[in-house]
Every structure is written in structure tokens, then in C-alpha cells.
Structure 1
Amino acid sequence: MITFIPLTGFLGAGKTTTMAATALALQERGHKVAVITNDQGVDLVDTKLLRSQLDSVAEVTGGCFCCRFEDLVEAVIALVASDDVDTVIAEAVGSCTDLQATVVRPLRRYYGEKMVVAPLTTVVDPLRYRAFDRAARRGEPESDLSYLFRQQLTEADVLAVNKLDTITSQQAVELLDRLRSDHPKAAVVGYAAGQGEGIGSLLDVWAAPPGNGAVALDVDYDRYAAAEAQLAWMNQALDLTAEGNGFDATVWARTVLQELSAWAAARQAVIGHAKLTVELREGDFAKLSLTEAGAEPTLDRSADATAPVGKAVVNARVACEPAALDQAVTEAVAAADRVAGVASSATAPVSFKPSYPRPVHRLAPLGA
């Protein structure tokens, strides 16, 4: 019997970091763990990062788990067969919701004899939560993105508040208390995956008996689709060649994200996330990320040395038109080329908007 741990949560919440930290912690407890990433596109920064940390990593691309349900099941079966894992942690696309009905209950109904499906966990970024909450408190009309975020909170069995190191201890206490009050049926835990703090509390919640999937989410799929359609999605690969003897991957990547951050801030465009890797040689790569317009990029991993050539992958999800994101990234790359002394060549711009969500299954709770 394997354990399947489903994660959801808005873009930039830290699902991948949570997945890596909990997988390593579970391995220390004697489990054999695999992880699965998920995205609307291909060429995933997160997959590369996870493969540098873990042995068993798979991905489901081209749509969310709900719309690629059989691909998810095949990925789980392949991991179990090839790597003899006993635990699979899977993170859904950050713009996805209604996972209780479209993933959790179908897995329990059709594969319950082979797997235990852990409580559905929604990973929450405190700063993102506070931004949406401030808009609601000001009486602003609920945007489609806010609606999507609220639905992710509502359907959670576990609300996992990540990045507590980004707010004060008093703010953390108030936030956790607020979530417990607003979502009394969910277990609420706080931690900081990037610092490795509080991970044990999340593992303890997952070890508890799974819920019965009784959350019956009332989702307006037109609003859900509209929220996803507000975001342009870009996954782009680039070849980099230094004009001199070598270039600094971190400098180049940081400049790209700084330029994109400033561009989004000037247009008040919401950044779901922007992630970038630059690989100089096999296993040696820099990775930076950005989750807020106007903010400084975060260095998640640095490359060990400079090199004359490299390969970059950009993943960006921004609330704008695809053509605008294509142009913004093109200009950001050109600026980074000048700063780092690099000549870059890229695949054609590939920004797009997700199609209307059409899940393979949508099951009501038993007895509903």
C-alpha cells in the first residue's frame, strides 16, 4: 500500500520547496519517497531543481492533474514499479482548484485498494494571503484570482502556512488563528520550508487518518476558467554564450528577474511566479525565483563557477496578455545579456493562456 500526498496552493506559495523538504524528512524516517510536478506547459524549472535533490521525480505536463488524471495515475504506477517507492507527493498546478472532487475522491474510489490518499493540503504564502485579504477588507469586488485563491483555501483538509520566516512571530500567530477561525474543519500548521523549520508538524498531520473527502466545493467553472485566463504562462529555453572567457549565471538570471519585476510593477501586473535556472554544466546550475512585482528575486541555488556557455529555462506566470509577457521577457533577457556579457538565442516566444478546465472525473462526496 502506497501513500499519496496531494498538494495544492496558489502560484508562488512554495509547494515545490515544501515537497522537497518533506520528502527528505520522510526519507530520514525510513520511507522511499517520489515526487511529481505538474504544469500547463513543459520545460519545468521545478523538475530540474527536484532532480538535483531527490532520486525519484516525475512530471505531468500539458494540464492540471484533474484534466490529466490518467497521466497522473500512470506516473504514480511507473514510480512505484521502477523505484519501489512507498510514498508519492504530488503538487498540482498553482492555478488549479476543485481537487477534492477531481483528484482526491477519484483516486480513493478507483485506486483505494492500492493507495492511501492523504488529506488534501493547500500551501499558503502569508504575504499573498494578506494581499488578497486587504483587498477584501477594503470592500473591493472579489477578483477572479481572489475567487480562485479562496476556493483553494475552502477545499483544504490541511492549510499549510509556509514562509513564516517572512512575517513577524505576532503576525504568524494572528494569521494562524484567523485561518483556524475561518476554516474550522481544516488542520492549520505553520512552517518555513526553505529554512527547514516546522516540517515535523506537517508530517504529523499527514500521518493522521485521512478525511472522508466530505468537502463539497461549489465551484463556478466560468470564474475558475476566467481566473486562469488572466495569467499568461511562459516556459522558454535559451542557449547562452559568453562574449569573453565566461559569465556569472547568477548575475544573468538575477538581472532577467529584476527587469521583469520592475516591468510588472510599472504595469501593476500580478506575478504568480517567475522562476529561472541557468545550467553551466551537468548538475551545476543557478536557480532564482520571484513571486511579487517590484520585489527582489530570491536566490534559491547558486552555480559553483563561471562558464563560457550555458542553458537557461524561464518559467513565468504573470497577469497580462501573452504577447506582452513575450516582449517583457525578451527585453529582460537583452538587458541581462548586456550586463553579464552574454549572447543568447532562444526558442520562439511561447506564452499562452490555459484552456477551459475540463476534468476527467468530478465526484460528489459519498452520501451527497
Structure 2
Amino acid sequence: MEPIRFMVVSGFLGAGKTTTMIALAEHLCETYGEAAIIANDLGANLVDTSLTRVTGCTVAEIGNECICYQMDNLVDQIRRLRDKSGARFVMSDIPGCGVGALDHVYHPLAREHGDEFTLAPFTVITDPERLRMIMPEKADIHLPEELVYLLKLQLEEADLVVLNKCDLLTEADRERYVDFLRTAVPDIPIICISARERTGIDELARFVTGNVSALKNFSVRYDEKFNEAEGKLTWYNRRLYLKTRDGGAIDMNAVVDDLIEGIRLGLIERKRNVPHLKTFATAGEGDYSKASLIGVDYDIEYAQQLAEPHENLRMIINARAVCEARPLTRLMDDALDEVCDRYDLDCQVFFTECFGMTDEGR
């Protein structure tokens, strides 16, 4: 049996890993063979899984821990995608500040399953806004210095760096970002794309199907600085159902927008931030909304909004916040209560979890 090609996609919170994987999977299915995605994160009820499913891409989910610490589960999922879905190429992301999958995933797979898996280049997605934090201008986007340290480590780990969201750059700015990356991570190939606009995806596809990982030795330094960086983040996941009390259809896009805005204002009031907040909302029959917020100083970004008014809505919220768990839980509840009062909605919460990366017993 021909080895299945597997790739880890790393990158900072909000860089566009999921959008890139979806765009790449769609392209590979047309040009290479069946491609599948594994959505991975520290919690459960992932926006990425729901979004990937509605695009028609084959997806599996590994939650509650990074794939770095679920090797048996990862191998089983790849085999299942190969055997049941006919996948020839499987890619998995890791949590958005994750570092170390080269050491914890690639090397064990090469050592223990080298005849079964071909390891595509370890790919790190970055975006212009976050990259500015380590460029000469040292942009302050109100994230702790410890998280900047994680971004630097991610870039160093890569076999391939992908600069996403290039549709937002002028030609001169794109050259400036690429020149910086060539200096910061010399000898690592760089590809510019816009996953949203589907530009550069063909070049990315050719690279990851035509090359393999260098399997370089990159062991993360789990020192005090690394531990402090992980300790800054709190994970929040919620799944809920909203419906109008009078049974009438309303503009649920406004509900989603006001809920995110309430969360943003709550974080600003507490002088906290959210490197990435994602929502997925659907009323069924293919009508859905996908929204993102990459910081309290930014506008809400919509990959898609609901096309019609609705009387009910199923919703998932994933947030990765620089905020302690208890105040984050309170402000999330306050924002939801305010929206329900404003739009006269009933709300049923099915699932909520909120934890710090270093919380005991997580």
C-alpha cells in the first residue's frame, strides 16, 4: 500500500490555519487525490470542525489535548481517514500557540511508522498583523511579550513558512514582509498566499506534495519563559441554542455581531485581550455564519454571514484569551445575557468549558 502523506500545520492564533487547510484540501481533491483535515485543539466543540464540515471537506476531530500527546489516537484517525474516506493526504493543525509538534509528532512517526506515512513539510502559517510584532517596527498589538516569544519559536520550527492574508498587502509591503522572513528564518522556504481569495494555493499544493520534511532537530526549550507564555492563555469553549420568544424570524447576524462586541467591550473594560475568538452559527439548510476577532482593537471579520432571518440559531464559541478564567467566564455570561435581553431570546447552553493552559487537572 502506498504511504499516506501527512502534514502538521502550525501557526499563531488567528493566522488562518483552518481557512488555509480548507483551501488546500479543496485544491488537493481536484489535483492530487482525496484530502482530509484533522481539527485539533485543547478543548471540545470546535468551530473549525463545524466550518470544515459545511465546506464539504472530509474532517475528523481530536480534542481535549494537542496531538503531540495523543499519538495513538492520531495514528488511528489518519488510518481511519485513509481506509474509510480514501484519503491520500491528511493534514492536522495544532493549538494556535502550540510549539513542539516536530519533535513530538514528526520524529515518532518517522521512527515508528516510516513505512506507512510520508511526512510532508512541517508548515507554519503566519499573517502580516502578528508578524509586525517581531519586525523592526515592533508593533504593539497589546499581546504579552511571552506570546511574541512563542511566535518566534513557531517560525524557527518550520520546514515551510506560509505568509497568509497577502490580499491585504500592497506589492511593496509583501516584499518587505518576505524580506524580513528571509532574514529571520534563513534557509526556510516562504510561500505567499491568500487562503480567503484562494491565491497561491496551487504553489502551496505543489510544494507540500512534492517535498518531505527535513526532520530537523528542534527541541522546544521548556524553560521559565516558555511556561510563562503558556500561562498567559485561557481557553473558552461554549455550545448553545438561541430562539426568539415570540417565534418570529429576526436578523441573527445582528445577534452574533452584538454578542462578539459585548465580549470585546468586556475584555477592554478589564484591560484584557483575545488573540483569537471564533464563532460558528447555523440555522440549518446550509445557512451559516463564521466570524473571527483577532484582538480587542480589531473589527469583526466575517468569512460568511447568514443569508436569511431566522427564529433560532445553533452556535459555537471558541476563544483563546489573555485573561484569567474566572473573569473571562463572567464577561462571557454577561455578554450573552445582554444579547438575550436585547433581542428577547431564550437561550439553552449545552456545553461550557474555561481553563488556563497550565491549570491543574485540565
TM (norm. structure 1) is: 0.90
Partner of 1:97: 99
1:253 to 252, 256, 259: 256
Q: Does 1:309 align with 2:312?
A: yes
Q: Does 1:352 align with 2:358?
A: no
Q: Which amino acid aligns with 1:36?
A: I
Q: Does 1:185 align with 2:192?
A: no
Q: Which amino acid aligns with 2:25?
A: A
Distance 2:227 2:350 in 1: 28
Distance 1:259 1:356 in 2: 26
Shift of 1:268: 4.1
Partner of 2:117: 115
Shift of 1:90: 0.9
Q: Deviations over 1:9-31 (max 9, x none)?
A: 01111000000000001111041
Q: Which consecutive unaligned segments of at least 5 residues does structure 2 have? A: none
2:36 to 34, 39, 57: 34
2:90 is paired with a residue of what secondary structure?
A: strand
Partner of 2:226: 224
Partner of 2:338: 335
Q: Does 1:202 align with 2:211?
A: no
Q: 1:142 to 1:316 in 2, by over 3 A?
A: closer
| 8 Å contact from structure 1 (residues 187, 205) kept in 2 | no
Q: Which consecutive unaligned segments of at least 5 residues does structure 1 have? A: 358-368
| 8 Å contact from structure 1 (residues 248, 340) kept in 2 | no
Q: Deviations over 1:282-303 (max 9, x none)?
A: 5432221111212221111222
1:296 to 294, 299, 311: 299
Q: Does 1:129 align with 2:156?
A: no
Q: Deviations over 1:163-203 (max 9, x none)?
A: 11223321111011110122112111111101111112211
How many equivalent pairs are there? 356
Shift of 1:161: 0.6
Indicate the percent of aligned positions where both proteins have the same amino acid.
27
2:259 is paired with a residue of what secondary structure?
A: helix
Q: 1:266 to 1:130 in 2, by over 3 A?
A: farther
| 8 Å contact from structure 1 (residues 249, 286) kept in 2 | no
TM (norm. structure 2) is: 0.92
1:254 is paired with a residue of what secondary structure?
A: helix
Partner of 1:73: 75
Q: Which amino acid aligns with 1:76?
A: I
Q: 1:254 to 1:63 in 2, by over 3 A?
A: same
Q: Which amino acid aligns with 1:343?
A: D
Q: 1:63 to 1:135 in 2, by over 3 A?
A: farther
| 8 Å contact from structure 1 (residues 275, 289) kept in 2 | yes
Shift of 1:142: 8.0
338-347 or 169-178: which moved more?
Answer: 338-347
2:46 to 40, 44, 47: 44
| 8 Å contact from structure 1 (residues 247, 342) kept in 2 | no
Distance 1:221 1:293 in 2: 29
Q: Deviations over 1:46-68 (max 9, x none)?
A: 10000011342101101111112
Q: Does 1:62 align with 2:64?
A: yes
Please provide the CA RMSD for this pair. 2.3
| 8 Å contact from structure 2 (residues 99, 220) kept in 1 | no
Shift of 1:134: 5.9
Partner of 2:8: 6
Distance 2:319 2:220 in 1: 29
